[in-house]
Structure 1
Amino acid sequence: MQRSVSRYDLLLAVIALPIALAGVLGAVSTLAMSTALAVGSVPATGGIGYAIFVEQPTQGS
């Protein structure tokens, strides 16, 4: 059985990636961790908003 990456899998990555990158940035730079995570949460929140209001999962997906 071959599995492909769906739009919703990519959307989960778009939500998680900015938070992960912000955590790494906060750990390796002089930027405060709380500031880095706050900045990383902005694009993650955009991905969540997109998932909720624009491209909701359907029953068949």
Structure 2
Amino acid sequence: MPQPTLDPLPRYLRVRQIVAPHGVLPISRSTFYAQVAAGTFPPGTKLTPGTVVWPTAVILALAEKPAP
């Protein structure tokens, strides 16, 4: 029977995993939410009233995109 492979990255990221100082994007939390409000970054998915997540693949694509 084949062993299941474990994905090293979670499928979804919370904002604290996305923004600086420990996140993927070198921007502040307020800048991230301003970009979401402006439509530059996609809106997240609300899991609970206090928890919003973004797909890891989407955030990694944003991180690879050159800065304007």
TM over 0.5: no
- Which has more helix, going by share of residues? 1
Q: TM-score, normalised by structure 2?
A: 0.25
